[in-house]
Amino acid sequence: MDLGLTGCGVIVTGASKGLGRAAARALAAEGANVLAVARTAASLDELAAENAAGTIHPHVCDMRDREQVRALAAVAVERLGRLDVVVNNAGIAPAADFLEMDMSLFDEVMEVNVASIAVLSQAAARHFVATGEGGRIINVVSISGILGKATLAAYSASKSAAIQLTRALAAEWARHDIQVNAIAPGAFATEAQSYVTSNPDVLAKRVRKIPARRMAQPDEIGPLVCFLSSTSAKFVTGAVYVIDGGETAKI
């Protein structure tokens, strides 16, 4: 199925590793021009070098800096020639006992996981409205924003907030032909889960909670990202797509 992404301009934040890297690769494979955004230049350069077609363009940005984040829409237009899609994937998940947690860390989680989405989405939407061509925004959230998780109170709260932001913006911007959706991943075998995947006992315990009895591979998020980035999903907005092997479906 041709999703019609050839030549589209896409921003993917948190693209240097994990699900962001997988999303950038999948979109580039569909012919999109991708502005791959992260803090680590070396990892971005490595990602771009893997892409023989030269359609992945690295860009360093600190998602805690609102001016840098706000500028991403203009950077994408300048470097890619157009902007059609934003994939808000960047996020942090520091584990901490909330009784002992310094609230400055809570603020940082909210800044990266919620405020950066709001700032970039607003900048992109203003561009979409100005061009009159609409656009798509995809927010990568988490099942922790649906169920909550001990020692990840700030992360869980931020992802829940991102889900509600997704729904509110979808309702507000549908008349501008802007679709806003979210993807809520469960257990994926990314670098962030290396402690789990490298420890057989911990892995076995984690997998027992998943009806599919396995963790997902990062590239399994790619097809869903590509679908939601395409005009095939133009009547899909305000949705939260859970991709977790059935974990949140069970009692």
CA distances from 218 to 136, 185, 222, 230 (A): 22, 10, 8, 20
Which of 10, 116, 111, 12 has the alpha carbon at shortest distance from 70? 116
To the nearest 10°, the Cα dihedral for 81, 176, 160, 156?
Answer: 0
H and E: helices and strands count for the chain: 10, 7
Q: Which member of 106, 128, 155, 173 is catalytic? A: 155
Query: Which residue, chain included where needed, has tokens 């041709």?
Result: 2
Spatial neighbors of 140 by CB under 8 A, at least 6 apart, are: 14, 19, 20, 23, 87, 88, 89, 91, 182, 183, 185, 221
- Is 195 noted as a catalytic residue in this protein? no
Q: For residues 105 and 107, what is the distance between their CA atoms, to the nearest angstrom?
A: 5
- Single-letter residue type at 60: V
Residue of 164, 49, 32 lying closest to 87 (CA atoms):
32
C-alpha closest to that of 188 among 7, 53, 21: 21
Category of 18 on φ-ψ map: left (φ > 0), alpha (ψ -120 to 50) or beta: left
Q: Which residues are catalytic?
A: 155
